[in-house]
Amino acid sequence: MSETHAKPRLLTPSRPVGIVGYGAYVPRYRLPAQEISRVWTGGMGGTPIQEKSVPGPDEDTATMSIEAARNALARAGDVDPAEIRAVWVGSESHPYAVKPTSTIVAEALGIVPYTQAGDWEFACKAGTEAMVAAMGFVGSGMADYALAIGMDTAQGRPGDALEYTAAAGGAAYLIGPAEEALAVIEGSLSYVTDTPDFWRRAYQKYPEHGQRFTGEPAYFKHITSAARAFFEVTGTGPQDYRFAVFHQPNTKFPTRVATSLGFSREQFETGLLVPRIGNTYSGAAIIGLSAILDVAEPGDRILMVSFGSGAGSDAFGLRVTERLPARRQRAPFTQEYIARRTEIDYATYARWRGKLVLK
């Protein structure tokens, strides 16, 4: 196959934009990987993470998005919800197949009725897809604020390798004018090809995946290509960023990709949450970003690269403003969500996640 002739181009809106408010959400229940291993491999198999977050029986992508969005608005200063012109929820676990999650979120936040509302799907990068769209929406001047959310309650087939990591959580980002931002978005760049590494056909409960094919041709190829192109068009390199965060389906992948791009552990460990909460799919990269924003200082630059199977990556460069340190106090920190923890066993998990045959 020949190399493409296309040239990367940085996506920057004519009107500078940034993150005006952000908020994370992680359910409080945890299923240790060792507990899954106990059931399926007699406790003998290796485990890709320590434990994963599990949504409570009354939680779904809509309820979790509402809490994350409430946190984002709490940090957004005096933004009137009625001034928000888009609510976009990226997820592969929307509670309905047809009927928007976003209208539920918009209603709960008081953003209705003069708003766009829509659900996005691009496996694990549906959330960053919504963020890029929000940049364009605000950057064009069509709107002052747009809310982009990435949230999932991911499911893996019982006994499958994915069951160890398929977790629940995510984050919400209110995108607005750069002059009000807690972190200015310096630009973004996407890298997308048709690569079937992971999918779920219509009406199927659990996804299929290409096992080792999900690695090199999918995850590593897309994240690396997006990051390298981003460095090229922005004239930056790993040394220019205090923090970096990548899609985190397990502990190994993001660690390896970060290292290969030239980042040190110090740069990527703040956003590396997967060992303690699992892979939150559409929420995975952006909840890493929220953990970084919880501690970053004015002037810090942050690189975020998402990955969605199917496949593609969105790279973002951000620069923290002096508004962040005071404003972030107004909502729970990502690590506070992670610290509240109730361990459950596999039986409880199986009941809550609809894995028992009741009829």
Partner 1 sequence: MEISRHWRLKKQRYALIGEVCPHCEAKIFPPRDVCPECGDEAKTEFAFSGRGKVYSYTTVQNAPQGYADAAPYTVALVQLDEGPMVTAQLTDLGSQKVEIGMPVEMVTRRLRSEGDQERGMLVYSYKFRPAEFQRLAVAAD
By the criterion CB under 8 A, which residues form the site for partner 1? 28-29, 56-60, 62-63, 66-67, 95-96, 104, 107-110, 329-332, 336, 340, 342
Shortest CB 159 distance to partner 1, Å: 23
Please report, to the nearest 10 degrees, the dihedral formed by the alpha carbons of residues 158, 291, 121, 10 taken in order: -140
Nearer to partner 1, 63 or 93 (CB): 63
Q: Which of 94, 209, 222, 247 is catalytic?
A: 247
Q: Which of 92, 129, 163, 180 is catalytic?
A: 92
Shortest CB 69 distance to partner 1, Å: 10
Nearer to partner 1, 43 or 110 (CB): 110
Give the type of residue at 328: R
Shortest CB 27 distance to partner 1, Å: 8
Active site residue 92: yes
Shortest CB 147 distance to partner 1, Å: 15
Shortest CB 293 distance to partner 1, Å: 17
* 3-state percent breakdown (helix, strand, coil) of the chain, nearest 5: 35, 25, 35
Give residues with Cβ within 8 angstroms of 165, minimum separation 6: 48, 49, 52, 156, 249, 250, 274, 278, 279
Residue in the block written with tokens 């975020």? 304
- With the C-alpha atoms ordered 8, 255, 56, 39, is the resulting torsion angle positive or negative? positive
Do the strands 84-90 and 145-153 form a parallel or antiparallel pair, or are they unpaired?
A: parallel
Active site residue 51: no
Report the chain's terminal Cα–Cα distance, integer Å: 51
- Rounded CA-CA distance 317/186 in Å is 5
Q: Residue 311, preceding bond cis, omega within 30 degrees?
A: yes
Nearer to partner 1, 56 or 237 (CB): 56
- Rounded CA-CA distance 204/310 in Å is 17
Nearer to partner 1, 27 or 254 (CB): 27
* Sheet strands side by side (includes 51-54): 51-54, 29-32, 342-343
Nearer to partner 1, 67 or 163 (CB): 67
Q: Which of 51, 59, 124, 186 is catalytic?
A: 124
Active site residue 94: no
Closest CA to 299 of 270, 323, 322: 322
The answer to whether 277 and 338 have CB atoms below 8 angstroms apart is: yes
Shortest CB 4 distance to partner 1, Å: 44
Q: How many other C-beta atoms can be found within 10 angstroms of the C-beta atom of residue 11?
A: 17
User: What residues act catalytically?
Assistant: 92, 124, 247
